Amino acid sequence: MSQPDLPLSPPVSDEVRQTTCYMCACRCGINVHLRGGTVSYIEGNRHHPVNKGVLCAKGSAGIMQHTAPSRLRAPLRRVGPRGSGEFEEISWDEALETAVSWLKPLRESAPEKLAFFTGRDQSQSFTSFWAQGFGTPNYAAHGGFCSVNMAAAGIYTMGGAFWEFGAPDWDNTKLFMLFGVAEDHDSNPIKMGLGQLKARGAKVIGVNPIRTGYNAVADEWVGITPGTDGLFILSLVHCLLSAGRIDLDYLARYTNAPVLVNGQAGAADFGLFLRDADGKPQVIDRHTGKLAAWDAPGILPDLRGELVQDGVTHRSVMHQIAQTYLTDAYTPEAVAERCGIPAARIRAIAALLAKTAFEDAIEIDQPWTDFRGERHATMTGRPVAFHAMRGISAHANGFQTCRALHLLQILLGAVETPGGMRFKPPYPKPADAHPKPHAKAAPDQPLDGPHLGYPQGPDDLALDADGQPLRIDKAFSWENPLSVHGLMHMVISNAHAGDPYKIDTLMLYMANMAWNSSMNTRAVMEMLTDTDADGAYKIPRIIYSDAYSSEMVTYADLILPDTTYLERHDCISLLDRPISEPHAAADAIRWPVVAPDRDVRGFQSVLVDLANRLGLPGFVEGGVPLYADYAEYITRHQRKPGIGPLAGWRGSGEDTGRGAPNAQQLDRYIANGGFATFPIPPEAQFYKPWNRAYQDYAVGMGFYDAPQPYLFQLYAEPLQRFRLAGQGHGPHQPPEHLRAQVAERFDPLPLWYDTEHDTGQADEYPVHALTQRPMAMYHSWGSQNAWLRQIHGQNPLYVPTRLMRAHGLQDGDWAHVTSAHGRITVPVVEMAALNDNTVWTWNAIGKRKGAWALSEDAPEATKGFLLNNLIHELLPPKGDGLRWSNSDPITGQAAWFDLRVRLEKAPPQTQSQPATPAQSSPVPPAPKARP
C-alpha cells in the first residue's frame, strides 16, 4: 500500500501580528496568527527578551480567552438591587456621562471620596497619574495582597527586588535556591532558567512545604514549616558568619556594614548613622584610620570601624551583625524543630553555599570602574542565586523574612555579581531615590504628588494633623508604615466600616474583590450590598471595569466593559513595571491586532475620555484635551521633558531614552515586533549600583538625571527611625496600642518572629493551609478558558499522608476545614510530597455559580472552593475593641499564608460549602461548542 501524498508545506496562516501576552503578569512576546481576519494560533516570539520564543500553557490558550463566552459586550447599568445581577445595556456616552455625574461633584468637594484601585493593572504609571490628576489619595494596585513584602524588603535593602526588578544570573550560577510559592513570577523566565541550570548540571534547592512544579525538579527539597523561612535563613547566616564564609571585600565596599551607628542606648539618635555636615553616613577609612564619608574617593571602608565621639561610642553595622546573629538563638540546633529541618541539613546547606560562593567563585575578564574611582581588572562572581516571591512574602513576618534573605545574599557577595542576582533596569534604585507618599487632597486640585512611595521615617507617613490615616486603606499609617503598594484588601472593609472615613464611589479595575481576591469573601459580598438605616448603600457607588463576567461584576452599579488583550493598546513602560532583562532595558506595547466585535473599549482609553470630560490636569490644558485615547497618551505624554512612557524611537526616531515625542513611535514598535531593547554595555553589566559605566548608561536612558551610587542597606535606618518613635522619641508618635508593635517589629536588622496565628492559634488549629497557583492558570481568568479548565477544572484539598491516616480519609472523601474564622467543606486528595502538617489547594479555581459564563453545574462551582472563606482581613478580636489587621505590621502585606486550620472527616457531599447562591449572568449562557 502506498503512502498518502501529504502536503508538507501547508500555509501556516494569512498574517502574523506581534504583540504582548496578558495571560499572566509575565508579559511575553507573542506571534498572533490570523486566518480570515480572526485569531487562529498564538506562539512565542523568538526575538522577545522575556520568553525568547517559548510560551506557557496560558499564553498558548490565549485564543480561548480572546473568544471566551464570558466576555462582556456593552456598558451596563444596574437596574435591580445591588448584587441581584440585574443590568441594562447602555451606550458609552450614557455610561461616561453617568460616571462624570458621580465623579465631578466629588472632585469639586472632596476628591478623597473616590477610591480607585486597579488590581492586575499593567498600566500603573498611567492609572496613578489619572488618580493624581483627580486628586484622590485613594489609589493603589494589588501589590498589598500579593507580594509587597518582597518588593519593599528588596528596595529598602538593596534598591531592587526579585522578578521585575531582578533575576538570577542564569548564565553563570552554580547553585540556585528557590523559596516558597513563586511559580507565576516570573513564569516563563524561571522555567527557562531552570532548564539552563539543568542542562549544565547546576544544583537546585527548593524550600517549600509543597513539592510540586519547580520543587518537583529540584535536586534537594526542603519541606519547611510554613512561616519559618526567616528563622531558617538566619540560621544559615549564623553558620556562615561563624565560619567566616562571608565576602569581606564586598561588604566593606558596597554595603553599609562599615557605616558607624550611634551606640548610646536611650538617646534620641540611638541606632542612627553617624553623619557628616552634608548628612552623609560616615565610615572609618582603613587607609588613614580616619572618618570619611561613605562615598569619598579612594577610601577603603573599615568593617571593624569603631569611634568614640563626644562621649558616644559608634560601632560599625558589622559589629551589630555579629552581635545579633552569632547568638545561640540561631544555631541550627536551636531552630531545627521550629523549622522542621534537621540541624545537620541546615549545616549541609550552609556549607554548600559557602563552598559554591567562595571555592567555586568565578572571574569574568572585564575591567570596570567603581563610584569611588577605583579601577578593577576583573569581575568576581559568587555563583549562588536565590529567588522567592509570595511564598515567604504573604506572612505577617514576611517583610523581615525577605530582608533576611537579602542579608544572606549580600553576606555572600551574591548580588549584582556574576552568578548571583542581577537587577533589571530601571533598577537598581535605592529606597531614598523613590518618591515619598503623598496623600493631601484638596477640592478641585490634583494630589500633591505621587500616591505611593518609600517613607524614610515617621515624618513621611500619610497622616492628618490628628494622626489619623489620610488614606482609606490606611496605608502609610502606624498600622503599617511601609505599605508601599497600598492595601487593596482593606479598601472594601474600611469603606464599609467608614474607618477612617466614608467614601462615595469605589472604582475598581480588573480585580475580583467579590471573590478570590478578597479575604473573607462571604462578608465582603455582604459589605458590598449592606445599607444604612435609611436604606442607602454603605458604599454608595461602585464603578467596575473588567473584560469578563467575573464575580465582581454583580456588585457594580456601572460596568465599563474592557477589551481582551488582543484588542487594545497598552504600554509596558520603563516608568512602570517594564520587561527589562539584566543585560538590557526593554519596554513593549500591546496594540489591537484584531478589532473588538463587541461594544467595548480599552479601560485606559476610557480613563482618558473621563479625564477629558472632567478636565483633569495632565490631560486637559486650557480646556483642550491633550489626548484622544490611550494610544495618543502613550506616544505624546511626557512625564518630564524628553521622558515618556516608551523609550524607543523617540524624537525623529533616532533617540533612545530621552527625546521628543514621536508620532510614529507605535508604528516603529509594531515593526520591531512590539518591543524595544536597550542593551547595557559589557563594562556596565554587573555591580550596577556602584559601576560608573552603568550609572552613565542609566542617566542616558533617563532613569535618573545624575549618577546615584548607593550602599546596600543591611542595616535599614528608616526602620530604626520608626522604632525610636515606638520607644517615645520624636514629634510623631504611634498610638499607644501600636507602640509595642512598632518598637518590636521595626528592627533595623532582619529578625524573625512567630506570627499571631502561630502564637495564638496553634493548639486549636494545628495545621497550616496554603494555596498556590497552577502554572497553567492566572488568578480567576483560567476557568473560563475551554482548554485550561480541562487541565485544572477542580481544586481538591491536598492533605499529607499523615493527616489522611489520622482522620481516616481516602481520596475523594470530604472534610470540614475550620479556622478561627469559619468552616468550609471540601473534597480531599492525598499527597505524600508535602510537609506533614500542611494542606493546600490551587487558588482561584473555585467559582461562583453563574459567573464566567460557566454552567451552574460546572465542577469549579460544585466542587471548587476558596480558602479565602477561612481567612479574615482582621485578626480574631483581642478583647480591646480594636480592629487588628491580618497583615504584616510593617508593610500591610495580606498574611494569606499564616492561615491555620483543623480537619475533620465529613459525610459525602455533592456540593462544596459554603455554597454561594448563583449570580445572574450579564452575558448569555455559553454555547455548547467552543468558538
Partner 1 sequence: MTCLPDKTDRQLGLVIDLDTCVGCHACVVSCKGWNTEHYGAPLSDQDPYGADPSGTFLNRVHSYELRPEDAPAQLVHFPKSCLHCVDAPCVTVCPTGASYKRTEDGIVLVNESDCIGCGLCAWACPYGARELDLAAGVMKKCTLCVDRIYNDNLPPQDRTPACVRTCPAGARHFGDLSDPASEVSQLVAERGGFELMPEQGTAPANRYLPPRPKDRWQDDASVLAPFLEPVAQEPKGFLGWLDRTLEKL
Q: Cβ distance 544 to 552 under 8 Å?
A: yes
196 binds partner 1 (CB under 8 A): yes
Q: How far apart are CA 339 and CA 341, in angstroms?
A: 5
Smallest separation (angstroms) from partner 1 to the CB of 847: 11
The pattern of x and - marking residues 61 through 100 that bind partner 1 according to CB under 8 A reads x-x-----x-------------------------------
Helix, strand, coil % in the chain, rounded to nearest 5: 30, 20, 50
Q: How far is the CB of 115 from partner 1 (least distance, A)?
A: 34
- CB of 824 vs partner 1, minimal distance in Å: 21
Nearest to partner 1 of 187, 713 (CB atom): 187
Q: Is 874 in the site for partner 1 (CB under 8 A)?
A: no
Asked if 265 is part of the footprint of partner 1 (rule: CB under 8 A), the reply reads no
Which three three-digit cell numbers place residue 816? 470540614
198 binds partner 1 (CB under 8 A): yes
For position 221 contacting partner 1 by CB under 8 A, the verdict is: yes
**Binding flag, residue 354, partner 1 (CB under 8 A):** yes
What is the Cα–Cα distance from 846 to 901, expressed in whole angstroms? 19
With beta carbons less than 8 A apart as the criterion, state whether 616 and 626 touch: no
Binding mask 657-676 for partner 1 (x = CB under 8 A): --------------------
CA 282 to chain centroid:
34
| Separation between Cα atoms, residue 406 and residue 157, nearest integer Å | 7
Coil, helix or strand at residue 283: strand
Between 394 and 858, name the residue whose CB sits nearer to partner 1.
858
Which residue from 525, 854, 867, 875 is in contact with partner 1, where contact means CB under 8 A?
Answer: 854
State yes or no: residue 802 binds partner 1 (CB under 8 A).
no
214 near partner 1, rule: CB under 8 A: yes
Closer residue to partner 1 (CB): 127 or 225: 225
CB under 8 A: which stretch of 346-354, 371-379, 620-628, 652-660 binds partner 1? 346-354
Identify residues 758-787 at the interface with partner 1 (CB under 8 A): 775-776, 784, 786-787
Q: Which stretch binds partner 1 (CB under 8 A): 80-88, 234-242, 397-405, 820-828?
A: 234-242
**Interaction of residue 326 with partner 1, rule CB under 8 A:** yes
From 112, 285, 302, 460, residue interacting with partner 1 (rule: CB under 8 A): 302
The sign one gets for the Cα dihedral 326, 329, 334, 339 is negative
**Can residue 47 be called a binding residue for partner 1 (CB under 8 A)?**
no
Residue type, 691: N
Cβ count near 736 (within 10 Å): 7
Residue at grid coordinates 541550570: 197
For helices 229-242 and 332-339, give the axis angle rounded to 10 degrees: 160
Q: How far apart, in whole angstroms, are the C-alpha atoms of residue 376 and residue 354?
A: 24
The answer to whether 234 touches 330, Cβ cutoff 8 Å, is: yes
42 binds partner 1 (CB under 8 A): yes
Amino acid (1-letter code) at residue 371: F
Q: Which is nearer to partner 1, 35 or 805 (CB)?
A: 35
∠ CA 191-796-754, rounded to 5°: 75
Cα-Cα-Cα-Cα dihedral sign, residues 138, 497, 108, 440: negative
List the alpha helices (DSSP H) in 579-620: 603-614
Report which of 504, 420, 381, 541 is spatially closest to residue 162, judged by C-alpha positions: 420
Is residue 805 a contact residue for partner 1 (CB under 8 A)? no
Q: Within positions 3 to 32, which residues make up the interface with partner 1, using CB under 8 A? A: 3-4, 6-13
Q: Report the nearest approach of partner 1 to the CB of residue 389 (Å).
A: 15
d(CA 240, CA 833): 30
Contacting residue, 88, 249, 597, 904, with partner 1 by CB under 8 A: 249
Q: Is 44 in the site for partner 1 (CB under 8 A)?
A: yes
307 binds partner 1 (CB under 8 A): no
Quick check: 533 binds partner 1 (CB under 8 A)? no
Site stretch for partner 1 (CB under 8 A), options 44-52, 709-717, 765-773, 879-887: 44-52
The dihedral through the CA atoms of 36, 38, 44, 49 has a sign that is positive
When the beta carbons of 564 and 887 are compared against partner 1, the nearer one is: 564
Class of residue 74 by CB neighbours under 10 A (exposed 0-12, middle 13-18, buried 19+):
middle
Contact status: 877 vs partner 1 (CB under 8 A)? no
Element (H, E) at 901: strand 900-906
928 binds partner 1 (CB under 8 A): yes
CB atoms within 10 A of CB 287: 11
Sole binder of partner 1 in the list 287, 304, 802, 805 (CB under 8 A): 304
Task: Please tell me whether residue 334 binds partner 1 under the rule CB under 8 A.
Answer: no
Going through 419-503 in order, the beta strands assigned E by DSSP cover: 421-423
How far, in Å, CA of 746 to CA of 681, rounded? 39
Total of residues contacting partner 1 (CB under 8 A): 107
Residue 454 near residue 434 (C-beta atoms within 8 A): yes
Letters for 170-189 (x = contact with partner 1 by CB under 8 A, - = none) are: -----------------xx-
Cα 364 to Cα 249: distance, rounded to the nearest angstrom: 17
The DSSP annotation for 757-825 comes to HHHHHTTTS-EEEEEE--TT--GGGGGG-TTHHHHS---PEEEEHHHHHHTT--TT-EEEEE-SS-EEE
Cβ closer to partner 1: 39 or 148?
Answer: 39
Cα–Cα distance for residue pair 132/484, rounded to 1 Å: 16
Identify residue 193 by its one-letter amino acid code.
G
Q: Between 343 and 882, name the residue whose CB sits nearer to partner 1.
A: 343
H-assigned helices in 303-377: 317-325, 332-339, 343-354
Which residue's CB is nearer to partner 1, number 643 or number 776?
A: 776
Residue 139 or residue 778: which is nearer to partner 1 going by CB?
A: 778
C-alpha cell at 669: 514598535
Q: How far is the CB of 348 from partner 1 (least distance, A)?
A: 5
474 binds partner 1 (CB under 8 A): no
Residue 656 CA to residue 649 CA, distance in Å, equals 6
Interacting residue with partner 1 among 857, 880, 881, 908 (CB under 8 A): 857
**Cβ closer to partner 1: 541 or 792?**
792
Compose the 98-137 pattern: x for residues touching partner 1 by CB under 8 A, - for all others. Answer: ----------------------------------------
859 near partner 1, judged by CB under 8 A: yes
Residues with Cβ within 8 Å of residue 467, at least 6 apart in sequence? 478, 732, 733, 735
Determine, following the binding rule CB under 8 A, whether residue 815 of this chain makes contact with partner 1. no
Q: Does 812 bind partner 1 (CB under 8 A)?
A: no
Choosing from 27, 48, 191, 569, the residue that interacts with partner 1 (CB under 8 A) is 191
CB of 502 to partner 1, least distance (A): 40
**Minimal distance in Å, beta carbon 833 to partner 1?**
4
Instruction: Out of 27, 82, 120, 211, point to the residue binding partner 1 (CB under 8 A).
Output: 211
Distances (CA, A) of 279 to 41, 502, 534: 59, 42, 57
By the 8 A CB rule, do 229 and 223 touch?
no
Q: Check residue 869 for interaction with partner 1 (CB under 8 A).
A: no
Considering only the stretches 340-348, 369-377, 468-476, 601-609, report the one whose residues sit in contact with partner 1 under the rule CB under 8 A.
340-348
Which CB, 245 or 745, lies closer to partner 1?
Answer: 245
Strand order in the sheet with 306-309: 260-262, 312-316, 306-309
Candidates 195, 297, 681, 700; binder of partner 1 (CB under 8 A) is 195
- 194 forms part of the interface with partner 1 (CB under 8 A): yes
User: Quick one: which segment of 299-307, 493-501, 616-624, 738-746 binds partner 1 (CB under 8 A)?
Assistant: 299-307
One residue of 267, 268, 344, 628 binding partner 1 per CB under 8 A: 344
